[in-house]
Structure 1
Amino acid sequence: MEVPVEQKIPLGALAELLGGRLTDPAKAGEIISGVSSLDAAGPGQLAFLWKEDYAEAAKRSEAAAIVCREPLPGARAPQVLVDDPQAAMLTLLGQVHALRHPPQAPGVHPDASVAEGVHLGEDCSVGAGAVVERGARIGARSQIKGLAYVGRGVVVGEDCTIHPGAVLLDHVRLGDRVVIWSGAIVGRDGFGFVQDAENRHTRIPQVGGVVIEDDVEVGPLTTVDRGALEDTVLRRGVKIDAHCHVAHNCEIGENALLVGYARMGGSVRIGKNAYLLQDAGVSSGRSVGEGAILGTCCHALHKDVPAGATMGGCPARPAMQHRRIEVSLARLPEMRKQLHRLEKELAALRARD
Structure 2
Amino acid sequence: MQIAAKEIANMLGGSLEGDGDAVISKPGKIEEGGAGTLTFLANPKYESFAYTTEAAALLVQKDFQPSMPVAAKALIRVEDVYDAVRKLLEKFGEERESPTGVSDKAFVHPDAVLAAGVSIGVFSVIEEGARIGAGTLIYPQVFIGKGAIIGKGCVLHPGVKVFHACEIGDNCILQANVVIGSDGFGFAPQQDGSYKKIPQIGNVILEDNIEIGANTTIDRATMGSTVIRQGVKLDNLIMVAHNVEIGDHTVVAAQAGFAGSTKIGRYCRIGGQAGFVGHISVADHTQVQAQSGVAAPVKEKGVALYGSPAIPYKDYLRSYAVFKKLPDLLRKIRELEKKINP
Give the TM bin, normalised by the shorter chain: over 0.9
Matches within 5 A, 1:151-300: 151-300=145-294
What is the DSSP-based 3-state SS (H/G/I as helix, E as strand, rest coil) of the residue aligned with 1:211? strand
Larger Rg: 1
Determine if the alignment matches structure 1 residue 49 to structure 2 residue 41: yes
Structure-2 residue corresponding to 1:333: 327
1:41-72 Cα offsets, whole Å, 9 max, x none, are: 23332222345676565345443222231474
Partner Cα separation in structure 1 for residue 42 and residue 328 of structure 2: 45
Task: State the one-letter code of the partner of 1:89.
Answer: V
Structure-2 residue corresponding to 1:88: 84
Partner Cα separation in structure 2 for residue 156 and residue 293 of structure 1: 31
Q: TM-score, normalised by structure 1?
A: 0.90
Q: 1:162·1:179 contact (CA, 8 Å) conserved in 2? A: yes
Structure-2 residue corresponding to 1:124: 118
Structure 2 residue ranges without an equivalent (≥5): none
Partner Cα separation in structure 2 for residue 188 and residue 8 of structure 1: 44
Structure-1 residue corresponding to 2:26: 34
Q: TM-score, normalised by structure 2?
A: 0.93
Query: How far off its partner does 1:207 sit?
Result: 1.5
Task: State the one-letter code of the partner of 1:319.
Answer: Y
Task: State the one-letter code of the partner of 1:195.
Answer: P
Query: How far off its partner does 1:85 sit?
Result: 3.0
Distance 1:71 1:324, change over 3 A: closer
Matches within 5 A, 1:106-121: 106=101, 108-121=102-115
Partner Cα separation in structure 2 for residue 341 and residue 83 of structure 1: 61
Distance 1:305 1:280, change over 3 A: farther
Task: State the one-letter code of the partner of 1:66.
Answer: L
Partner Cα separation in structure 2 for residue 113 and residue 163 of structure 1: 17
Structure-2 residue corresponding to 1:4: none
Identity %: 30
Between 228-237 and 326-335, report the one with greater CA deviation: 326-335
Partner Cα separation in structure 2 for residue 185 and residue 112 of structure 1: 19
Query: How far off its partner does 1:201 sit?
Result: 1.0
Task: State the one-letter code of the partner of 2:178.
Answer: A
Of 97, 115, 119, which residue of structure 2 is paired with 1:102? 97
Partner Cα separation in structure 2 for residue 273 and residue 292 of structure 1: 8
Between 190-199 and 216-225, report the one with greater CA deviation: 190-199
Query: How far off its partner does 1:159 sit?
Result: 0.8
Distance 1:303 1:29, change over 3 A: closer
What is the DSSP-based 3-state SS (H/G/I as helix, E as strand, rest coil) of the residue aligned with 2:31? coil
Between 329-338 and 210-219, report the one with greater CA deviation: 329-338
Query: How far off its partner does 1:189 sit?
Result: 1.5
Q: 1:59·1:72 contact (CA, 8 Å) conserved in 2? A: no
Partner Cα separation in structure 1 for residue 323 and residue 93 of structure 2: 47
Structure-1 residue corresponding to 2:296: 302
Of 298, 309, 312, which residue of structure 1 is paired with 2:306? 312
Determine if the alignment matches structure 1 residue 63 to structure 2 residue 51: no
Partner Cα separation in structure 1 for residue 336 and residue 44 of structure 2: 53
- CA RMSD in angstroms comes to 1.9
Determine if the alignment matches structure 1 residue 144 to structure 2 residue 138: yes
Partner Cα separation in structure 2 for residue 51 and residue 182 of structure 1: 30
Q: 1:71·1:79 contact (CA, 8 Å) conserved in 2? A: no
Query: How far off its partner does 1:126 sit?
Result: 1.4
Partner Cα separation in structure 2 for residue 22 and residue 163 of structure 1: 37
Structure-2 residue corresponding to 1:3: none
Between 71-80 and 153-162, report the one with greater CA deviation: 71-80
Query: How far off its partner does 1:36 sit?
Result: 2.3
Task: State the one-letter code of the partner of 2:150.
Answer: V
Partner Cα separation in structure 1 for residue 273 and residue 162 of structure 2: 25
Partner Cα separation in structure 2 for residue 103 and residue 39 of structure 1: 30
Query: How far off its partner does 1:179 sit?
Result: 1.2
Partner Cα separation in structure 2 for residue 189 and residue 283 of structure 1: 19
1:86-125 Cα offsets, whole Å, 9 max, x none, are: 33222111111121x233102x212111112000111101
Distance 1:19 1:302, change over 3 A: closer
